[in-house]
Amino acid sequence: MLHSRLLADVKGRLRIRSHLARQCLAEFLGVFVRMLLTQGAGAQAVTSGETKGNFFTMFLAGSLAVTIAIYVGGNVSGAHLNPAFSLAMCLLGRLPWARLPIYCLVQLLSAFCASGATYAVYYDALQNHTGGNLTVTGPKETASLFATYPAPYLSLNNGFLDQVLGTGVLIVGILAILGTRNKGVPAGLEPVAVGLAPGANCGFPLNPARDLGPRLFTYVAGRGPEVFSAGNGWWWVPVVAPLVGATLGTATYQLLVALHHPEEKSEPAQDLEFAQHTAGLETPASALLPQREL
């Protein structure tokens, strides 16, 4: 009994009352977990000369990282993990526009910090692999472990299209999975259904924070301005293109699918969410457990 009261007292003292602050913490942790697992798998494969990993294990780690990250923060922040998805939620009215810059900043900061953690954990391996030369290009470069760079043959125009189309398809897929009036995914398994993304041309950022945060870290960690000039100034493409893709993907799904569902009566859960919203007691804009049709 004393132990229970002590735990309750500690919880009461430490629990953050601000709903927005709780969302920010959950979003930060979700992005951090995702980035650490993804970058860690890449660092292990590259620094070992692919004796302890390869493209398949890196791809699998990235998919599992997204799944775990969504489970981490899904019921608190919605586990957006991506400014492009946050933008899509704003376009659908599921996230207030005033929170978009806050979510984006938290996601960017978390990606930056996760890159620092990866660098610290694999510091010795990276130094051994590169001989202490931190380069952005060349056979021993490791900058692409953190941010994405285009293949030598890829133009900025083609890369931009790659990211717009990839993000658009990703958003369409997520909205289809989360749509309550589509063929549903079993409850609790939604994160497992969200994970794969195309990416042979230039990796698979599809996420401004996932690319810009680590790029900023590599800039301050010794690689300098070349991280922004490499690939004919590629850096802005994975920042801007996913936002365009998210807008087009959201519009496409709404125009071709969501708007054509038969009308249904409002469910109690929907009424409760609306009442909470109008009373200023907004529930999390969960990307996993939507309360109304996307």
One DSSP character per residue, 267-287 reads PHHHHHHHHHHHTT-PPP--S
Alpha carbons 173 and 171: distance in angstroms, whole number: 5
Give all domains of the chain, ordered by start, each with its CATH number: 19-260 (1.20.1080.10)
Place of tokens 């489970």: 71
Predicted model pTM: 0.82
DSSP state letter for 222: I
Distances (CA, A) of 73 to 33, 76, 193, 267: 10, 5, 16, 25
Residue-level pLDDT at 201: 39
| pLDDT tens by residue, 47-63 | 988 888 888 888 888 88
CB-based contacts of 293, cutoff 8 Å, min separation 6: 179, 180, 181, 258, 261
Q: Encode pLDDT of 120-159 as tens digits.
A: 999 999 999 988 888 888 888 899 999 999 988 999 999 9
pLDDT band at residue 14 under the 50/70/90 scheme: confident
Residue 53 CB contacts under 8 Å (≥ 6 apart), including other chains = 41, 42, 44, 45
